[in-house]
């Protein structure tokens, strides 16, 4: 059966020292093994140190991005192989902030997903609609197109390794959360699209996380939905006790 996952996305927050301290705090709060996978997706500069900090604990680490190129003369880029070599297990791909602020197109994301998989990283692939698309009731079509353009090219074997995060863009960092009904509806829609393409077994085994102003107060009602398999947490993952409360909510 599919895994429940609670993943933090620290975005561009914390210095390396602050990040190590935060990871250490989270590690110390997780004395009892939670019934979900716990992942910290952290800035590139923090990966190696935080890998050491959480070594031997149940926490896995991930990057927030990787390059769409394999290696070579791409100044400033970080390849999937480099990410993997730090001990990271996951990589977020297609976050709306990357799509919007850094012009990452569906084609670029397709390359990133392939390279992540080739380097034994689990992509956490983000999809979701903007406010105007939701108001026009276009959210299902948007998400379908995002899947078709970046991941429905994959083999069954590769596809079965991916984790998805449904992140309605209007809910990210805004304090507006999808209602539990909106989240369940969209997660069920995503699972149905996967079933149509890859079959029901793969669809049932795919973890689909919710992201967008998920916090210690609303996590339990979001996670209670049948098709919501955990969360991708932004600002609430920067406070150890809040993040722990979200993990407990599963
Ligand atoms: P917030 O939880 O801060 O809304 O961010 C969500 C997000 O973008 C996770 O990737």
- Give the pLDDT confidence score for residue 76 in this predicted structure: 98
* Residue 213 CB–ligand 1 contact under 6 Å: yes
Summarize pLDDT for 66-92 with one digit per residue, the tens.
Answer: 999 999 999 999 999 999 999 999 999
pTM: 0.98
Pseudo-torsion of CA 62, 66, 72, 74, nearest 10°? -130
Out of 233, 235, 243, mutate this one to test ligand 1's pocket (max ligand atoms within 8 Å of CB): namely: 233
Our answer on whether the CB atom of 219 is closer than 6 Å to any ligand 1 atom is: no
Give the span between the Cα atoms of 93 and 98, in whole angstroms.
8
pLDDT digits (tens, 9 = 90+) for 143-177: 999 999 999 999 999 999 999 999 999 999 998 89
Nearest in space to 54 (alpha carbons), one of 87, 82, 84 = 87
Nearest CA to ligand 1 atom 5: 234
Please identify every residue annotated as catalytic.
95, 167
* Ligand 1 in reach of 232 Cβ (< 6 A): yes
Angle between the N-to-C axes of helices 180-198 and 139-150, in degrees from 0 to 180, rounded to the nearest 10: 40
Location of structure tokens 């507006």: 176
Ligand 1: residue whose CA is nearest its atom 2? 234
For atom 1 of ligand 1, the residue with the nearest CA is 234
pLDDT band at 32 (very low <50, low <70, confident <90, very high): confident
Give the DSSP per-residue string, 151-207. Answer: TTTS-HHHHTT-EEEE--GGGTTTS----HHHHHHHHHHHHHHHHHHH-HHHHHH--
Ligand 1 atom index nearest CA of 232: 9
For residue range 34-60, list pLDDT tens digits in order: 889 999 999 999 999 999 999 999 999
């Amino acid at each position: 059966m599919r895994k429940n996952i609670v993943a933090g996305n620290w975005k561009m927050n914390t210095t390396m020292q602050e990040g190590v301290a935060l990871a250490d705090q989270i590690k110390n709060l997780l004395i009892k093994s939670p019934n979900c996978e716990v992942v910290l997706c952290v800035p590139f500069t923090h990966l190696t140190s935080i890998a050491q900090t959480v070594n031997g604990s149940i926490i896995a680490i991930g990057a927030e991005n990787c390059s769409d190129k394999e290696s070579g003369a791409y100044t400033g880029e970080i390849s999937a192989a480099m990410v993997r070599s730090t001990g990271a297990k996951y990589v977020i791909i297609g976050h709306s902030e990357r799509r919007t602020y850094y012009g990452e197109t569906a084609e670029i994301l397709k390359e990133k997903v392939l390279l992540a998989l080739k380097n034994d990283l689990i992509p956490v692939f983000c999809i979701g609609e903007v406010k105007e698309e939701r108001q026009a009731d276009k959210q299902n079509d948007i998400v379908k197109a995002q899947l078709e353009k970046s991941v429905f090219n994959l083999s069954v074997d590769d596809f079965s390794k991916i984790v998805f995060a449904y992140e309605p863009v209007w809910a990210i960092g805004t304090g507006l959360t999808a209602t539990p009904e909106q989240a369940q509806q969209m997660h069920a829609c995503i699972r149905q699209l996967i079933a149509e393409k890859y079959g029901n077994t793969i669809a049932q085994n795919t973890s689909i996380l919710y992201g967008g102003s998920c916090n210690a107060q609303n996590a339990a009602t979001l996670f209670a939905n049948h098709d919501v398999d955990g969360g991708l947490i932004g600002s609430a993952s920067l406070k150890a006790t809040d993040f722990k409360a979200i993990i407990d909510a599963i």
